[in-house]
Amino acid sequence: MQMGLDFNLVEELVAGVDEVGRGPLCGPVVTAAVILDPRRPIEGLNDSKKLTEARREVLFDEICEKALAWCIARAEVQEIDQLNILHATMLAMQRAVEGLSVTPRLALIDGNRCPQLAVPSAPVIQGDGQVPAIAAASILAKVSRDREMCALDLCYPGYGMAAHKGYPTPNHLDALQRLGPTIIHRRSFAPVRILLEQAALAEPASVTVALPV
């Protein structure tokens, strides 16, 4: 049985913040902020990548039910292309913390840097495997984004988004070559940008973008 993080490490009114989706070629970057309730333990919290999909789904509902406050936020593809993925991620994290119904006394951010926040914050490298609140945030963000990519798979058949969730797998890159980028692909990411540049040079009058069905 896979062990989770020690819930006794939960600190009162401390928000954990994490993101999912910095690496994919398409779709939003999704963030979450969670303030856990020390009086309502949640067993099995851990880095979302270390949990099975079924376990993440169960924990998603339990976190939403038991947390003192939680918020899922995002930055859209257009914002990623305009700001770059790092700044778009920071923006999405700001939105998650600002969306909390309870103001935290401290926000612990997974990674090595913090967004600009109205509350004190601190980065925690690999925090999703150490801090229960960050682990909870990682679960909310991943389940939310995975569900969205499965829905987008129905809108853009042939790309395999339900399987790879937008990451640059061989199947995804092959689909991009065959079908071209969609409006949810990030034009600032090299595989998409290069493909669009090649298409523009080859047929400047007939560059098309795949639209949802």
**By the 8 A CB rule, do 81 and 113 touch?**
no
Residue 206 lies in a domain: no
Owning domain of residue 65: 7-153
The model's confidence at residue 199, banded by pLDDT at 50, 70 and 90, is: confident
Residue 104 lies in a domain: yes
**By the 8 A CB rule, do 105 and 130 touch?**
no
Residue 62 lies in a domain: yes
Cα gap 206→141, rounded to integer Å: 38
Residue 59 lies in a domain: yes
Number of domains in the chain: 1
The tens digit of pLDDT for each residue in 125-144 reads: 999 999 999 999 999 999 99
Q: Give me the helices (H) in 11-76, please.
A: 53-66
The model's confidence at residue 3, banded by pLDDT at 50, 70 and 90, is: confident
Residue 111 lies in a domain: yes
* CA–CA distances in Å: residue 115 to residues 24, 59, 118, 127, 175: 21, 26, 10, 15, 35
Assign residue 111 the CATH number of its domain: 3.30.420.10
Give the residue from 39, 36, 28, 35 showing the smallest Cα distance to 97. Answer: 35
pTM value is 0.93
